A and B are shown apart, each in its own frame.
Chain A
Amino acid sequence: MQAPVIRVRDVVNRFGAQVVHDGVSFDVAPGEIFGIVGGSGSGKSVLLKTLLGLRRPDSGSVELEGRDITAMDDRELRAIKRRYGVTFQHGALFTSLTVAENVTLPVAEALELDEASLERLVELRLRMVGLPLEAAAKHPAQLSGGMVKRAALARALALDPAILFLDEPTAGLDPIAATAFDDLVLYLRDTLHLTIVMVTHDLDTLLRTCDRVAVLVDGKVIVDTLEGIVANDHPWIRHYFHGARGRSMAIAREDAGGA
């Protein structure tokens, strides 16, 4: 196996007396799509913030591309942040800017480029995420939910990151839009060899896209391939995947019947 892109070791996060993460460790390999699931309040968002370097864990280490971000000063952290892109649950597009301006913002902030080049790059990102080019002049309020997610992804891709963090990428989308988004994520991984970490509750997304899954239970993490997780006999995990298992089996049967 190649050196992991993300390496989390014994991370402990607590708020006062409440321990959210009690020694969380896992690795994410290059080019992998890594899912994070867990019940409400299990600390998915806190874990994501820790991985992004927005929150320092109480103890433990987080390495991105072999560099420990928990020990970095702000300057180094800022450089590391160029290596990843993030999409937030509700898109977090800047409402006062157009889609084009949203996508341009991180590029113009980091690099000295001409207006013309910036515009060419916006076109590239919109094409990459499959947004129609006329969406460029629109404001986020004028976009549908699926388009907001795509625009957010375009902004996350603006600096050609090596790692992509997606927070609930398909939440609030209809099944067709969600499937299209899953396809897009898979396509980007396959063409750009991105490493993708996604927090999701969408079982279909999990089943379709993720190579491995981390389940947060009782402050610990259980990491396995999807089959391994589904076969795990932890009561919460059994409960969680009970429906999914039935569904995946139903799909498998359907496929077999159709073949």
Chain B
Amino acid sequence: MRRHAPAVLKDGLRRDGPVTRPGSMQFTALYDRAAARLELAGEAAMEDAPELERALRDLQGAPPAALQVDLARAALRDIGPAWLLHDAIAGLRGAGVDVSIHGAPPEHFAYFDTLLSREAGALARPSTPSLMDRLAGFGRSLEERGRSWHEALVFGGRLIASAAFAWRSLKRLRLPSVVRHMHETGVQAIPIVAVIALLISVISAYIGAQQLRPFGAEIFTVDLVAIGVLRELGVLLTAIMVAGRTGSAYAAELGVMKLNDEVDALESMGMNPYEVLVLPRVVALVLVMPLLTVVADAMGLAGGALLTGYLLDLPWSQFVMRLDAAIAPTTFWAGLVKAPVFGLLIALTGTLRGLQVRESSRELGRLTTVAVVQSIFLVIFADALFAIFFLEIDF
């Protein structure tokens, strides 16, 4: 049992190991049940609290009618263990036990009496929720949900208003800021987007070739990869990457600015935070998403060509011919047209959640997560709507 080694700290440091206490003696606490005597000896530091606690637990398990506490050979140097002893004695006295102390009571006891005389009462602890509390909590979460929708509406309205205003002059569009965000969210994202697109097309080409081989239809792997990448995978994977990269960055940046009162500072200077902070980010991402999608498409086709060339021994020229036959003129545009919409959804979610950060840094972490999860959800949901829409109009 762990109780037998009280003097060893959790991390294996001996109590008296590295920190020597000059002239001190190992602390021991013993409760002798037969004699109803609690005997302490040695100098008690905070690290000896477990040893003291063990003796006190023995004592409190079967309290005697009259208790002797022997402190003649003990020095309660640190205040923590002294408090535990003081508290235990007070508890026993409260329960009608006659406690007598031998030796001088620790000097801290007088200090405790002044402390206790200042404030009565007990430690507050988090209450366990009753049915009413739970109902109230449910109500609050509904209200919270409603407020979140309301905030989203206000956000959309103010953004449209500032966009309409910004449209009239180039200065209000804040081109330097837009360009900076395009660089951060677009140019810097090219390597990761390219690699992901390449890998995904390699994977789908590999699986496609394997499945189509029994039918002797391996050549259609080219169709599979081309249509899959151009219509769906290229733009969808780009959007998911951008949601993880940029959606979270937008939320965190704006959240930190909110916590630092930077948003209030902007407003106090008569600047509209929607125009200065939100609009450039949204515009940048709407412009950048199609460009990234083109990169992803190109890399996806390159990956397809690479793998079909390797697996099916298909020369490059044949791949291009097959590609030409496989895709309709609209295939590329069916993917690309979705890109700005996805960009808009990601940017709006990220900036909205960022601006919702209030009071604490805990909030910041939560809302950043929410921004990423929701923007990915919205992207996939919008993609489903696009799929149905394209099917209906035969695009």
Interface residues of A (CB under 8 A from B): 65, 75-76, 78-80, 82-83, 95-96, 98, 100, 107, 109-114, 117, 119-124, 126-128, 130, 132-137, 139-141, 159-160, 191-192
Given contacts A95-B361, A98-B126, contact A79 B2 (CB under 8 A): no
A122 to B, closest residue via Cβ = B123
Cβ-based interface call for B39 (8 A): no
Chain A's nearest CB lies how many Å from the CB of B49?
Answer: 6
Q: Are B50 and A113 in contact (CB under 8 A)?
A: yes
Q: Does B13 reach chain A (CB closer than 8 Å)?
A: yes
Establish whether residues A79 and B123, one from each chain, have CB atoms under 8 Å apart when the complex forms: no
A143–B83 CA distance with the chains assembled, in angstroms: 26
Chain B residues closer than 8 Å to A112, beta-carbon distance: 2, 6, 10, 50
Q: How far is the CB of A66 from chain B (nearest CB, A)?
A: 9
Whether A117 pairs with B121 at a CB distance below 8 angstroms is no
- Least CB distance, B67 to chain A, in whole angstroms: 19
**Which of B18, B46, B126, B359 interacts with A75 by CB under 8 Å?**
B18
The 5 closest A-B pairs by CB, nearest first: A160-B78, A79-B18, A134-B124, A160-B46, A141-B360
Residue B63, interface by CB 8 Å? no
B19 lies within 8 A of A80 (CB): yes
Contact A137 B47 (CB under 8 A): no
How many angstroms between the C-alpha atoms of A117 and B127 in the bound complex? 19
A77's closest neighbor in chain B, by CB? B18
Contacts of B87 in A (CB 8 A): 120
User: Which of A76, A96, A113, A124 is B79 in contact with, Cβ under 8 Å?
Assistant: A124
**Does A141 contact B83, Cβ atoms closer than 8 Å?**
no
* Chain A nearest CB, measured from B124 CB (Å): 4
B118 touches A110 (CB 8 A): no
**B48 nearest in chain A by CB position:** A111
Out of B53, B115, B121, B362, which one reaches A114, CB within 8 Å? Answer: B53
* Chain B residue nearest in CB terms to A3: B22
Known: A110-B10, A110-B47, A160-B79. A100 touches B18 (CB 8 A): no
Of the four ranges (under 10, 10 to 19, 20 to 34, 35 or more), the interface on chain B belongs to: 35 or more
Which residues from chain B contact A137 at a C-beta distance below 8 Å? 124-127
Determine whether the beta carbon of B47 is less than 8 Å from that of A111.
yes
23 contacts between A and B (CB under 8 A): A75-B18, A76-B18, A80-B18, A107-B80, A110-B10, A110-B11, A110-B47, A112-B6, A112-B50, A113-B53, A117-B49, A120-B84, A121-B49, A121-B83, A121-B84, A124-B83, A126-B123, A127-B115, A133-B123, A134-B121, A137-B127, A160-B78, A192-B79
Q: Is the CB of B122 within 8 A of A78?
A: no
Let me know if B78 and A79 touch, CB within 8 A: no
A111 and B121 form a contact (CB under 8 A): no
A24 to B127, CA, bound (A): 52
The reply to whether A95 and B119 form a contact with Cβ atoms under 8 Å apart is no
Q: Given the known A-B contacts A109-B10, A160-B45, are A133 and B124 also in contact in the complex, defined by CB atoms under 8 Å?
A: yes
Q: Which of A122, A135, A160 is most buried by chain B, counting CB atoms within 10 A of its CB? A: A160
Do B9 and A100 touch across chains, with their CB atoms under 8 A apart? Answer: no
Contacts of A100 in B (CB 8 A): 123, 125
A159 to B10, CA, bound (A): 14
Which residues of B sit under 8 angstroms from A121, Cβ to Cβ? 49, 80, 83-84
Closest A-chain residue to B364, C-beta based? A95
Determine how close the nearest CB of chain B comes to the CB of A76; give it in whole angstroms.
5
Produce 1/0 per residue, B36-51, CB < 8 A to A: 0000000001110110
| A residues in contact with B18, CB < 8 Å | 75-76, 79-80
Q: Nearest chain A CB to B356's CB is how many angstroms away? A: 16
Residues A78 and B10 in contact, CB atoms below 8 Å apart: no
Given A75-B13, A120-B83, A124-B79, A113-B49 contact (CB < 8 Å): yes
A117–B80 alpha-carbon span in the complex (Å): 10
Interface residues of B in 20-68 (CB under 8 A from A): 45-47, 49-50, 53, 57
- Closest chain B residue to A120, Cβ basis: B87
Known A96-B362, A111-B47: A79·B13 in contact at CB below 8 Å: yes
- Alpha-carbon distance A137/B53, docked complex (angstroms): 24
Besides A113-B50, A124-B83, 18 new A-B residue pairs in contact (Cβ under 8 A), listed by A number: A76-B18, A79-B18, A80-B19, A82-B47, A83-B19, A100-B125, A111-B47, A112-B50, A113-B53, A114-B57, A119-B123, A124-B80, A133-B119, A135-B124, A136-B124, A139-B360, A159-B46, A160-B78
